[in-house]
Amino acid sequence: MALYAIGDLHLPLAAGKPMDIFSGWDGYVDKLEAHWRRLVKPEDTVVVAGDVSWAMGLEQSLKDFQFIESLPGRKIILKGNHDYWWSTKSKMEQFFAKHGLDSLQILHNNSIAVGQAAVCGSRGWLFEQGEAHDQKIVAREAARLDASLSSAGKGLEKVAFLHYPPVFGEEITPEIIDVLRKHQVRRCYYGHIHGSGCRYALNGTYLGIEFRLISADFLGFCLMEIPEKPNKS
C-alpha cells in the first residue's frame, strides 16, 4: 500500500485548454497516464496537490474527474489556485457520489489516514516579491492547515501537502511555517512552481522540515513515491 503524490495536472479534457502550448508539456496527459498506470496499484493512494482541472465549474469538470477515476488507486485532492471548479466539501462529495467517482476524496480542513501517515494539507499561500501582504488570506489558509493537522489520528506521522510553497527563493510565508512547526511536521510536499521557476524551488530541509516540489512538469509527469518514513537528519 504505497503513497504517491503529484501536483498541477492542469487537465484539459473538460475545458479544452491544453498546456502543451508551453515548453515541456507536449503530450503530457498521455505521459501522466502511462506513468500512473505503470506505478500505481489499486490499493495505493495518490495525493493530487492542486490545479487539477481547468474547468470553471463542477459540472464542467466531469470529464477530467472521470479520467482520474479511471486510473488505479485512491486519490486525495486538495485545492490549487486554478481550481475554479472548487466548491464546498459537501457539494464536491455529492458530485463525486452522483457520478460514481468513488476513488476520489477531498482534503479540506480534514486529514486522511494512509498506512502510518496522516495526509494533511491546504492550498497555502505565497507572498511574492512586490505584492501586498494579504493577512486575511494567509490567516485563513494557516487556520485550514492547522485544522487539518489537528485532525490527524493519534500515533500517525503528519505529512503535509500544500499547493503553494511556503518557502520559495527569498520569499517565506511564516504563518504557514509556524503551523508546520507547531505540529512537528517533518515532511512537506508542494506544487505550483513551473518551468524556469523550479530552479528556485526548495528541495531540501528548512527549519527541520524536508520540502519537496511535486509539480507535474518538474517530475516529468511521473508520480513521486512518498517514503514510509522521513529521512534521518
pLDDT tens readout for residues 44-74: 999 999 999 999 999 999 999 999 999 999 9
pLDDT tens readout for residues 23-52: 778 999 999 999 999 999 999 999 999 999
How many Å separate Cα 22 from the centre of its chain?
21
Q: Which amino acid is at 114?
A: V
Q: Output the pLDDT for position 122.
A: 97
Q: Where are the alpha helices (DSSP H) in the chain?
A: 28-39, 62-70, 89-98, 135-150, 174-182
Would you state the cell numbers that stand for residue 168, as one nine-digit string? 520559495
Longest CA span, the chain: 46
What angle do the packed helices 174-182 and 135-150 form, to 10 degrees? 20
Cβ atoms of 94 and 134 closer than 8 Å: no
Pick 21 or 205 by higher pLDDT. Answer: 205
Cβ atoms of 51 and 7 closer than 8 Å: yes
pLDDT tens readout for residues 81-119: 999 999 999 999 999 999 999 999 999 999 999 999 999
Q: How confident is the model at residue 128 (pLDDT cuts 50, 70, 90)?
A: low
pTM above 0.75, yes or no: yes
Q: Output the pLDDT for position 127.
A: 67
pLDDT tens readout for residues 129-175: 555 667 888 999 999 999 999 999 999 999 999 999 999 988 899 99
Q: Output the pLDDT for position 132.
A: 61
Burial of residue 123 (number of CB atoms within 10 Å: 0-12, 13-18, 19+): buried
Sheet containing strand 209-213, edge to edge, reads: 112-114, 117-122, 157-162, 187-190, 209-213, 204-206
Phi, psi of 53, rounded to the nearest 5 degrees: -140, 145
Q: Which domains does the chain have, with CATH numbers?
A: 3-226 (3.60.21.10)
Q: Output the pLDDT for position 83.
A: 94
Number of Cβ within a 10 Å radius of residue 124: 31
Phi, psi of 138, rounded to the nearest 5 degrees: -65, -35
Share of the chain above pLDDT 90, in %: 81
Pick 114 or 1 by higher pLDDT. Answer: 114
Q: Output the pLDDT for position 22.
A: 75
Q: How confident is the model at residue 231 (pLDDT cuts 50, 70, 90)?
A: confident
**What number of CA atoms fall less than 13 Å from residue 30's CA on the CB side?**
3
